[in-house]
Amino acid sequence: ASCDLSRPTLYRILASLEAEELVTKTSEGCYKPGIRLVGLARRALEEIEIRNLARPELESLRDRTGETVHLAIRSGDEMVYIDKIESLKVVRMASSIGARVALHSTSVGKSFLSALPTADFKSLINSLKLEKITNRTTITFQALEEQVKKYRRLGYVNDDQENETGISCFGAAILNEKLNPIGAVSISVPVYRVKTDHNFYTKPLQECVATISRATGAKIRY
């Protein structure tokens, strides 16, 4: 009565929700929230928490480098920007919160991949479509695996115009208490402005993600 739906329509909707484990039918014929909602709620809370935890560090990173900083989390086979601190310079990367970007062509995506346990990484990349976005995009699984091995050693990723021509990005993953990736931070720089010494970006970036990771419970040192 509250939904103003007919009985057949309502039960079709409930059947779909039940199939997705979003609701559960009780022995009395009523419906209650399903177990999958618990996972969704936990994920939503984690996203809110990581955004709140990361914000001061993102602002500090922008101030130290002078460039645009992004915070992203994984969503299926993509990463989603959930926060952004704009560069104060006139020329800067055009992007927006909520934008979805590929795992294989971005510094946030590759850093997330590089922080995954090997088995999880191999399972995930088998589902990816390595689409060519620019002339520099990584489009083979062999190349992506080799890059990930390199990035694991370095602790950061440099996407040099793989996702957007004219933009170079440096990224690193945020870890949880189990040392699994739960997000990533990137610095986006117009290529003409990239400094020769990449330590100018990577050192504060690694310090930033280490601080955020420790705040989530990860026992790591930078």
Tokens of 12: 């079709």
pTM comes to 0.77
Please check the confidence at residue 38 and state whether its pLDDT lies above 80.
Answer: no
pLDDT for position 60? 96
What does the mean pLDDT of the chain come to?
90
Confidence of residue 35 (pLDDT cuts 50, 70, 90): confident
For residue range 95-122, list pLDDT tens digits in order. 778 889 999 999 999 999 999 998 999 8
pLDDT for position 71? 96
pLDDT for position 201? 97
**Rounded distance, CA 200 to CA 102, Å?**
26
Please check the confidence at residue 54 and state whether its pLDDT lies above 90.
Answer: yes
Confidence of residue 49 (pLDDT cuts 50, 70, 90): confident
For residue range 136-175, list pLDDT tens digits in order. 999 999 999 999 999 999 999 999 999 999 999 999 999 9
pLDDT for position 173? 97
The answer to whether 186 and 123 are in contact (CB under 8 A) is no
**Rounded distance, CA 139 to CA 126, Å?**
13
Please check the confidence at residue 216 and state whether its pLDDT lies above 80.
Answer: yes
Please check the confidence at residue 39 and state whether its pLDDT lies above 90.
Answer: no
Please check the confidence at residue 41 and state whether its pLDDT lies above 90.
Answer: no
End-to-end CA distance of the chain: 58
Kindly state the average pLDDT of the residues 5-19.
90
88 vs 103, higher pLDDT: 103
What is the Cα Rg of the chain in Å?
20
What number of residues does the chain have? 222
Give me the percent of the chain exceeding a pLDDT of 70.
94
Please check the confidence at residue 92 and state whether its pLDDT lies above 70.
Answer: no
Please check the confidence at residue 69 and state whether its pLDDT lies above 90.
Answer: yes
List own/partner pairs for 89-92 with CB under 8 A and 24 or more apart.
89/193, 91/190, 91/193, 92/67, 92/68, 92/188, 92/190
Confidence of residue 135 (pLDDT cuts 50, 70, 90): very high
Tokens of 136: 């520099």
pLDDT for position 222? 58
